[in-house]
Every structure is written in structure tokens, then in C-alpha cells.
Amino acid sequence: MTLTRSSGILLHPTSLPGPYGIGDLGPEAYRFLEDLAQTGSKLWQILPLGPTGYGDSPYQAFSAFAGNPYLVSPDFLKNDGLLQEEDFADMPAWNPQQVDFGSIFQWKPALLDKAFARFEAQPHTPLHQEFDGFRLDNAHWLQDYALFMALKDAQGGIAWNEWQPPLRSRQPEALQQARQTHAKAIRRQEFHQFLFFRQWNALRNFAHQKGIQIIGDIPIFVAMDSSDAWAHPELFHLDEAGKPTVVAGVPPDYFAPTGQLWGNPLYRWEIHRQTGYRWWVERIRAILQTVDIIRIDHFRGFAGYWEVPGNAPTAENGRWVPGPGIDLFHAIHRALGDLPIIAEDLGEITPDVIELRDSLHLPGMKIHQFGFSGPENPFLPQHYVPNSVVYTGTHDNDTAWGWYNSAPEHEKDYARRYLHISGEDFAWDLTRSCWASVAVMALAPMQDLLNLGSEGRMNFPGKVGGFWGWRMSSGAFTEDIKHRIRELNYLYGR
């Protein structure tokens, strides 16, 4: 993969402003891309786009292939004639600064159902022809996903491994009966996906017109309660009842004395190898039809991963297990060619992880915020190589100002001395240092460019609930901010 020196902003679509309680793929997304293009930046980085469930995390989605219907723009559905003004009569009064996921989960599906009813009442339109083509092109994942979601809704949202055995184990007669019983609900789920990808593809095309590439994000693991685990149980370490025998996590460290117990089912890599890694090839193929560059979260898991017994209360009593290594990437390369991948190589990195990353010539990540413990810290720019991607921080860290306001005094003192600053404009001084570095790509979360403190934090790893909800205020991407970014891009050749 050949990357060019460039810069961009990390901002998930849910964080965009707008009148419908959650950022979406509507007019504000286009306005953001217009503003981004005016800065001379060429990259927009997002988080995973999959349908979210419990905990609201985009890293625990119901599918590795599907899109999040909560991102569908009601404004564009009105333009398509699928919604009318009276459909919004029951819209709640939203907090413009924060996503209220609980209310969104009630209101947005009901709104999309109104669009579906109007769509079904108008057969034989060009939109129906588009829908039929979408269903055909995506049948390899869409059929299982739509049935999975229809069954899940019919059973009050319980996890698939708590369903009755015939459905849980996908007995053919039970599946055939379910497809007949829930035909309308299945078609509705397919329609939701059609709307998402129709709007996303239009937005991505607009980004390309503006000279902007989209950096997408895929978690290495899938959620336990996902259509992927239900439809392909043979690919995961599951028992006959669909319970995971081992799960993913990370071992104890200074920040988490009992480790982090993620709970994702782990892959049976030998089975994947026997299929030529077919599922992974299709997953990468699908994401490359959605974004331009892929950030693989927890890349180190391909070299080795922390395996925890499925019934363990914490991640303490796990073990390191070898991953598929370069064999997986050779299979993907044979099927898809060179891959535009960024390796998220943070955390406990061992020589085998570095060897795998470098043998594939993938850029790793540098988090400048982590660097202020002293001159030997690898996250300081003097230690970067050009084939790397530098961030002021990511969705998992506090904002730049949040870090500065809570960091030990000796680290703040080193940061001021290193950056040669007073500390009065820390977030932008950190941004300037990233842009000036040799790293081929430099990115900052929108929160840092808005000078936000901890109130702008997107996530806190290891904590469930209360995160992922931050939203940007309308008009916050001001001319002054655009000018400052444009100046940095000019000065540092980005």
C-alpha cells in the first residue's frame, strides 16, 4: 500500500449535528465534508458502521457486514417521498449535545417502518428495482442478517444462544418455517439495510468528489450476539448450545488490574484456514466497498491473542495463543490484491506483532498524547518512521485538554518543554506537532480541534454504558478552525 502525506479528522457519523437526536448521513454529513475539503485535508476517519446494540458500542455490532440503520437520514427519506411531515409529529425533544440511545432505539425504527410501509404501497417504481438489485448483490450476508434480526425482534431482543434449540442450531425446517412466518419483518430489515447503503454510497461518492478518502474501522472480533456467530458457529469456539468456550480479552496491566474481559467469541483459525479464510476474504471485500482505507482494531490479535475461559469472571486467568499470522493476509492478498490497511498496534506489543506488521509493510499507529513520560518514549515524534499514522488521541483516549488537565505535573511539564509552549493552547500545539512529524498521515479527533475537555470524550475502555454519545454542535466547525487546519496543512506539506 502506497500512502501519500496527508491529514484528516476523526469524527464518527453519530457525532454530527442535526435535528433527529443522532448524527446521520444527511445534510450535515455533506456539510462536514465540504468544510473538511476547504481545509485541504484529505482524510475522514470513522468508527465501525455496524448496527449497535447493548452498550451502544460500534465495536459490538449485530453484524460484521450490515450498516447501522440509526444513521439513515430522515431528510433524504423525505426527498425520496418515503416520509412526510406528519410522520415526525411524535419526535422527542432531543439534547443536541448528546445521543440519547434509549430514545433513538424506540423512535428511529418506528420512523423507518413508516418509510417501509410507504415503499411497499408504491410497487413497480425505480426504487423497487434498486432494492431488488441490492438484495441480490448482498444475499451472501443479508439473508442471514435479516432473518437473525427478525427473529431477535420477535423474541424480545434476547441473544441467539437463548433461542429454542431448532432456531439456535439452525435446523433447516425451523429456518424455512421462520422465513415464512416472519417474511414481512425480514423484508423490512433488508429495506433498512438498503436505505443505509444507498445513503452511505452517495455520501462516499461525494467525499471522493471532494478529494477525500474515508478511513473505516473493523474490529478484529465479532460480537457474541451477532448474525455472524449464529450463521457460522463452526468458525468460532462455541459449544453445542452456542455458548463460547473461550472468549477474547486483554491481560491485566497498570490501568486494569484484572484485565479487560471483552467476551467476544474467538475464531477457530484452523477451520478458517481449511476454507481458504473465505469468511475473512468476504469481510475485507465488503469493507473495501464501503471505505477506502481500513484500520484493523487490535491488529496484534493476528499474531497472538489473549484467550480467556468462557465462564471466567475476569480476564486474569487467560493465556496467549498464536493467531493465524501472515497466512491469513496471504489468502486475502491472493483474492483481493494489495490492501490499504492501518494496523492498530497499540497495547502490549511483542516482537512477533512488529514482525507481522512490517512484513506486510503496514503503517502502525502513534498516539502523541501517550508520549510525555520522557525522551525515550516511542510515542514522541523523534521515534516515528514515515510509514506510520499519528493521532493526537483516539476515540478510546481522553481529549487532549482532558489529558492535560488530569495528567501528573511532571508529564505536563515535559509536554510544555517538549512542545516549547506555555500550555494555553495545548490541543492545537499537540496537533501542530503531529502535523509536523514524519508520519505519512496525521489525524486529530474533532473534539481536539474544538478545544474540548473531558466532556467530549467518546469512550472509556473497559467501562460499559454512558459513552459513544458525544455530538458536535451545529456551526462548531468555524471559519477560524478551518483556517488553522489549512495553515498547518500548508506549512507541513499535508
pLDDT in tens, 47-61: 999 999 888 999 999
Report whether 43 contacts 213 (CB < 8 A): yes
CATH number, domain at 64?
Answer: 3.20.20.80
How many CB atoms neighbour CB 54 within 10 A? Answer: 12
Is 314 domain-assigned? Answer: yes
Is 451 domain-assigned? Answer: yes
Residue tagged active-site, from 228, 297, 345, 429: 297
pLDDT in tens, 243-267: 999 999 999 887 688 998 999 999 9
Arithmetic mean of pLDDT, 205-218: 98
24 catalytic? Reply is no
- For 120, phi then psi, to 5°, come to -65, -30
SS3 label, residue 452: coil
Q: What pLDDT score does 254 carry?
A: 72
DSSP string, 164-199: -HHHHTT-HHHHHHHHHHTHHHHHHHHHHHHHHHHH
- Residue 262 CB contacts under 8 Å (≥ 6 apart), including other chains: 221, 247, 248, 249, 250, 315
Confidence grade of residue 1 (pLDDT, cut at 50, 70, 90):
low
By CB atoms closer than 10 A (0-12, 13-18, 19+), residue 406 is exposed
Q: What pLDDT score does 348 carry?
A: 79
Q: What is the spatial distance between Cα 21 and Cα 91, in angstroms, rounded to a whole number?
A: 9
Q: What is the spatial distance between Cα 95 and Cα 355, in angstroms, rounded to a whole number?
A: 47
Is 355 domain-assigned? Answer: yes
User: Would you say residue 173 has pLDDT above 80?
Assistant: yes
pLDDT in tens, 182-201: 999 999 999 999 999 999 99
How many CB atoms neighbour CB 407 within 10 A? Answer: 16
Q: Which domain holds residue 81?
A: 6-491
Average pLDDT over all residues of the chain: 96
- Residue 57 CB contacts under 8 Å (≥ 6 apart), including other chains: 459, 467, 468
Report whether 293 contacts 213 (CB < 8 A): yes
Is 237 domain-assigned? Answer: yes
Q: What percent of the chain has pLDDT over 90?
A: 94
Q: What pLDDT score does 253 carry?
A: 80
Q: What is the spatial distance between Cα 483 and Cα 471, in angstroms, rounded to a whole number?
A: 22
Sign of CA pseudo-dihedral 264, 190, 107, 206: positive
Q: What pLDDT score does 2 carry?
A: 76
28 catalytic? Reply is no
**For residues 263-278, b (16+ Cβ closer than 10 Å) or e, as one string?**
bbbbbebeebeeeebe
348 catalytic? Reply is no
Is 1 domain-assigned? Answer: no
| DSSP 8-state assignment for residue 52 | B
Residue tagged active-site, from 344, 345, 429, 448: 344
What is the grid cell recorded at 422? 506555555
Which residue do the cell numbers 481500513 mark? 294
What is the grid cell recorded at 390? 499519528
Residue tagged active-site, from 153, 396, 411, 425: 396
DSSP string, 271-339: HHHHTTSHHHHHHHHHHHTT-SEEEEETGGGGTEEEEEETT-SSSTT-EEEE--THHHHHHHHHHH-S-
Q: How many distinct structural domains can be found in the chain?
A: 1
